[in-house]
Structure formats: structure tokens, C-alpha cells
């Protein structure tokens, strides 16, 4: 019991908690492996193909040779129904959208339960202060989840909301924020921070801490919001993974924005980087209240084509270190099935966002590395374009991979590979210019 309490504290339910010690990290890894193995047993799988290494010097380094990236020539068509019929109208697209959602639910991200306990938002603290030269009003919030169905598990959502002082109905950027210890934070880049850039436009921002309500490991799947709904039991094969749980939290944040006059809930952006970029595109795809997506270096499991043999692979995502992001069913695609057996691919996840605007951001492969596969993200964006066009919007407008720094943002889907590393940092000014087109009164 003591051990369970210790785990609860350290799994990441409190964003101010210390980082786990090596010993706790080892036991979390063991518990994740155990749950991963249990899911494999239930799927009747004995062995998985190992993924390549992210270390470019390793003998099994992930492929970064474009000529070897695309042995498969087939990509599922978002505009063809499962029965082979064509999708020709926006009404038909609504039906096709449901088909795609069912496939993403059962095979990749898992199904968000139909009833998840309610969240009530508490204001913990309100402060009038400044960010740079801007006067702001900051609210510390905690979303308390009703746990009467299983009182052993407490779940709370941590969020901080910052809006320009004395204004109403501002556009807002909701960021999935990393809970990094102080020493790990990057030094600020030159020039105004992203927060200052948003405040300059008169926009606000909110930071939601995903690990406050669902830990980022397999050990935590019997805890957090997933564990609460399952009353502490392991997941079923099409149960939601962590990305869907994180997206659920963003949806509850949106519920809160809908109740306050400071924020214009019709102009809320969802933003995230890397695994939180994956969570951001999943949020955007499923919750149609979000107006725009700003998706940073989300790579495999996010906006990169799964079928491409370049950088991170399905085999990595399905391993004990990352499978928790997905439904247990997804593990099958690392053996006996292959990524080519997936009924859907990442371009169709982007298409689920249509007709709402999405900006896909990547760093420079020379700086960020090739793991996230910038071209794979570009291709997914390009192949999502026909759905935008069917709905009367403008897609990416080209199938030609742009050089670093070129901003493809004349349509409702945007792509830009900046000159920096694993961050959205240098793309903020471009994203703001893109979003202004939709947010200007
Ligand atoms: C790892 C993982 C990626 C993920 C990234 C991150 O590199 O393989 O899929 O996006 O971590 O979240 O930083």
C-alpha cells in the first residue's frame, strides 16, 4: 500500500513534484513492461519486431536515406469509403469522417469512453502581474474529477490561464506544457518569448499539464483518468491510450473557456511539441471546437506517415516505452501485422481536422535530427489536402517538399520547417501571421 502511494506521488500527478529517482524510474519501467507483456498476451502475440535506434551512430540506426523510405506505394484514400465508393460531397465526407474515427479509435489511439466522470474547475489563485511589458491577469486552476465511481483514484487537471488585463473574449492558445524541472528548461531565445508575441496581438494563453491527469508511462495506465474509468484494472484492447486521455483534458479546458467571458471559445488554438504535438493533433482531429492546430514536430504517431521507413517507426511506438500512447490493439502492427496493414494513416488524421486550419511545424533535420521525419509530416499534410478542397478550403497547394525556411501557408493547411531544433520556437511568428487571417475581427 505504501508503495502504491509512493508511486502515485511520483508517477507525475503533481506538476510541482520532484522528478522520480533512478530506483522509482526502474520500477516504473518494470511495471510498464509487465503491462505491455500482458497486452501482448491478450492479443496473442509472442514477439514484436524491434524498432531502429534514434542514435545515428548505432549499427541499427533509423533510416535517413530517402531512397529507402518508400517501398510501399499505397496510401489509403481519405475520400474512398471502406466499401470502395467515392466521397464526392461534404455530406458524404461527414459519413466517411465517422468511418475514419472508428478506425483510428479501434486500431491506433483507442476509444475515449462514452462516459467519463465530470470535471469541476476550481480557481486556486488569481494574480495581476506583467509578462514582459504586458499587463496580464493570471489564474491558477485545478480541474477536479468526480471519483465517486472509484474513490481510490484521485484525478486533477493542472492549468494556468494568462490573459491580457481588462479585456474580454480574447483568442487563446492552449498549450500542452512540459513539466520539466527548473534545471532542464531551455534558456530563452533572443527576442520576445512566444507568450509576449501572443500578448502583443492581444491574445491570451493557457498551459495545461498533461501528466497531472495521465502519467506518461505504461505503469500509470491503471491510474489517472484512464485508471479511474477502468476502476484500477488494465485496459481492454481498444481502450484509449494516453494521447486520447491528454486530449480529453484539453476538451475539459475548452469546457471551462466556454464558461468565462475573458476567452473567446470560438477562437482557441491547440498547440504542443513532440509527444504533445501528437496529443495536439489528436485533440484537433477529435474535438471540433478547437479552431486551429499548431502542431510541433509530432513525428511518428502524430503527423508523419506511418508507412514511411524513415526515422521513428511503428515498432518504436509499439514498444514498452511508448505503447501507452495508443490503444493496445496498435501493438499488433509491430508483429504479426506491419504498418502497411494499418487501415488508416496520418494524412487521414490531419483530414479529420478539415475544414479547420492546421499549421504543421518541424525543425531542421540538421539540427533536430531525422527521427521525427519532416518529409513524412509534409507528405501527410499534402495528402490531407484533397479533403480540405472538397470542403471548399485550400490545401497545401503542392506535392513538392519545400526547402528549409520556406513557409507554405497560403492555404488552410500550412507547413514550415524552421532552422532550429526540437522546438516550435522559430515558427511562432509564422504561426501568428497564419492565425491572424482567421482571428482578425
Ligand atoms: C521520443 C519519441 C518521439 C517523441 C519524443 C518526444 O523521441 O520517440 O515519438 O515525440 O520522444 O516527445 O520528445
Q: How far is the CA of 133 from the centre of ligand 1 (A)?
A: 35
User: What are the Cα distances from residue 21, in Å, to 24, 314, 320, 322, 411?
Assistant: 5, 29, 20, 20, 47
**Residue range 282-318, pLDDT digits in tens:** 999 999 999 999 999 999 999 999 999 999 999 999 9
Q: How far is the CA of 274 from the centre of ligand 1 (A)?
A: 6
Q: Please, which residues have CB within 8 angstroms of residue 16's CB and are 6 or more apart in sequence?
A: none
Look at 302 and 11; give whichever has higher pLDDT.
Answer: 302
**Residue range 21-78, pLDDT digits in tens:** 899 999 999 999 999 999 999 999 999 999 999 999 999 999 999 999 986 678 999 9
Q: How far is the CA of 435 from the centre of ligand 1 (A)?
A: 26
Q: How far is the CA of 127 from the centre of ligand 1 (A)?
A: 35
pLDDT of the residue at 440: 83
Task: Please check the confidence at residue 17 and state whether its pLDDT lies above 60.
Answer: no
Q: Which of 281, 282, 299 for mutating ligand 1's site (highest number of atoms within 8 Å of CB)?
A: 299
Instruction: Give me the residue label for grid cell 504543421.
Output: 360
Rg (CA), the chain: 21
Region 2-439: CATH code: 3.40.50.1820
**Residue range 85-138, pLDDT digits in tens:** 999 999 999 999 999 999 999 999 999 999 999 999 999 999 999 999 999 999
Task: Please check the confidence at residue 14 and state whether its pLDDT lies above 80.
Answer: no
Atom of ligand 1 nearest to the CA of 298: 10
**Residue range 313-363, pLDDT digits in tens:** 999 999 999 999 999 999 999 999 999 999 999 999 999 999 999 999 999
Tell the residue nearest (CA) to atom 2 of ligand 1.
275
pLDDT of the residue at 182: 72
Q: How far is the CA of 322 from the centre of ligand 1 (A)?
A: 9
Q: How far is the CA of 426 from the centre of ligand 1 (A)?
A: 19
Q: How far is the CA of 263 from the centre of ligand 1 (A)?
A: 31
Task: Please check the confidence at residue 5 and state whether its pLDDT lies above 60.
Answer: no
Task: Please check the confidence at residue 1 and state whether its pLDDT lies above 90.
Answer: no
Backbone torsions φ then ψ of 70, nearest 5 degrees? -130, 65
pLDDT of the residue at 181: 76
Mean pLDDT of the chain: 94
Q: Which of 275, 276, 373 for mutating ligand 1's site (highest number of atoms within 8 Å of CB)?
A: 275
Q: Please, which residues have CB within 8 angstroms of residue 291's CB and are 6 or more apart in sequence?
A: 266, 267, 268, 269, 356, 357, 438
Atom of ligand 1 nearest to the CA of 276: 12
Confidence class of residue 20 from pLDDT cuts 50, 70 and 90?
A: confident
**Ligand 1 pocket at CB < 6 A:** 274-275, 299-301, 312, 316, 371
Contacts 24+ apart (CB under 8 A), 56-63: 56/369, 56/370, 62/310, 62/311, 62/312, 62/313, 62/370, 62/371, 63/309, 63/310, 63/311
Task: Please check the confidence at residue 230 and state whether its pLDDT lies above 70.
Answer: yes
User: What are the Cα distances from residue 262, in Å, to 130, 205, 271, 292?
Assistant: 17, 11, 20, 19
Task: Please check the confidence at residue 8 and state whether its pLDDT lies above 90.
Answer: no
Are the beta carbons of 224 and 213 closer than 8 angstroms?
yes
Q: Which of 371, 372, 373, 376 for mutating ligand 1's site (highest number of atoms within 8 Å of CB)?
A: 371
* Region 367-375 average pLDDT: 97
**Residue range 167-191, pLDDT digits in tens:** 999 999 999 999 887 777 776 678 9
Are the beta carbons of 197 and 427 closer than 8 angstroms?
no
Task: Please check the confidence at residue 214 and state whether its pLDDT lies above 50.
Answer: yes
**Residue range 381-401, pLDDT digits in tens:** 999 999 999 999 999 999 999
Amino acid at each position: 500500500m505504501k508503495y502504491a502511494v509512493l508511486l502515485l506521488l511520483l508517477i507525475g500527478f503533481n506538476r510541482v513534484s520532484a522528478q522520480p529517482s533512478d530506483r522509482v524510474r526502474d520500477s516504473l519501467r518494470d511495471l510498464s513492461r509487465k503491462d505491455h507483456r500482458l497486452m501482448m498476451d491478450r492479443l496473442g502475440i509472442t514477439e514484436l519486431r524491434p524498432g531502429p535506434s534514434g542514435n545515428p551512430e548505432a549499427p541499427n540506426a533509423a533510416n535517413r536515406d530517402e531512397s529507402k523510405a518508400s517501398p510501399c506505394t499505397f496510401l489509403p484514400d481519405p475520400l474512398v469509403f471502406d466499401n470502395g465508393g467515392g466521397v464526392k460531397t461534404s455530406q458524404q465526407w461527414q459519413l466517411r469522417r465517422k468511418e475514419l474515427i472508428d478506425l483510428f479509435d479501434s486500431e491506433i489511439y483507442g476509444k475515449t469512453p462514452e462516459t467519463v466522470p465530470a470535471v469541476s474547475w476550481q480557481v486556486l489563485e488569481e494574480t495581476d502581474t506583467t509578462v514582459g511589458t504586458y499587463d496580464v491577469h493570471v489564474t491558477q486552476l485545478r480541474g477536479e474529477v468526480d471519483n465517486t465511481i472509484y474513490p481510490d483514484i484521485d484525478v486533477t487537471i493542472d492549468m494556468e490561464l494568462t490573459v491580457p488585463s481588462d479585456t474580454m473574449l480574447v483568442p487563446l492558445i492552449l498549450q500542452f506544457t512540459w513539466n520539466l524541472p527548473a534545471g532542464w528548461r531551455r534558456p530563452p531565445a533572443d527576442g520576445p518569448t512566444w507568450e509576449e508575441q501572443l500578448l502583443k496581438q492581444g491574445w491570451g494563453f493557457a498551459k495545461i499539464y498533461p501528466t497531472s491527469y495521465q502519467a506518461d508511462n505504461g505503469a500509470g495506465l491503471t491510474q489517472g483518468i484512464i485508471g479511474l474509468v477502468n476502476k484500477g484494472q488494465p485496459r481492454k484492447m481498444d481502450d484509449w491510450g494516453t494521447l486520447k486521455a491528454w486530449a480529453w483534458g484539453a476538451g475539459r479546458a475548452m469546457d471551462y473557456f466556454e464558461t468565462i467571458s475573458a476567452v473567446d471559445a470560438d477562437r482557441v488554438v491547440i498547440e504542443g511539441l513532440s509527444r504533445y504535438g501528437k496529443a495536439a493533433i489528436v485533440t484537433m482531429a477529435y474535438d471540433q471546437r478547437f479552431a486551429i492546430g499548431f502542431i510541433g514536430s509530432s513525428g511518428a504517431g502524430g503527423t508523419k506517415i506511418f508507412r514511411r521507413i524513415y526515422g521513428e517507426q511503428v515498432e518504436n511506438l509499439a514498444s514498452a516505452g511508448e505503447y501507452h500512447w495508443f490503444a493496445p490493439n496498435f501493438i499488433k502492427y509491430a508483429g504479426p501485422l506491419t504498418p502497411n496493414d494499418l487501415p488508416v494513416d496520418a494524412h487521414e488524421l490531419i483530414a479529420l481536422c478539415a475544414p479547420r486550419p492546421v499549421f504543421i511545424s518541424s525543425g531542421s533535420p540538421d539540427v533536430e535530427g531525422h527521427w521525427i521525419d519532416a518529409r513524412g509530416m509534409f507528405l501527410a499534410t499534402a495528402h490531407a489536402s484533397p479533403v480540405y478542397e472538397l470542403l471548399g478550403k485550400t490545401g497545401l497547394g503542392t506535392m513538392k517538399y519545400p526547402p528549409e525556411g520556406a513557409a507554405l501557408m497560403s492555404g488552410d493547411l500550412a507547413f514550415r520547417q524552421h532552422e532550429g531544433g526540437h522546438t516550435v520556437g522559430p515558427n511562432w511568428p509564422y504561426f501568428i501571421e497564419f492565425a491572424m487571417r482567421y482571428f482578425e475581427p
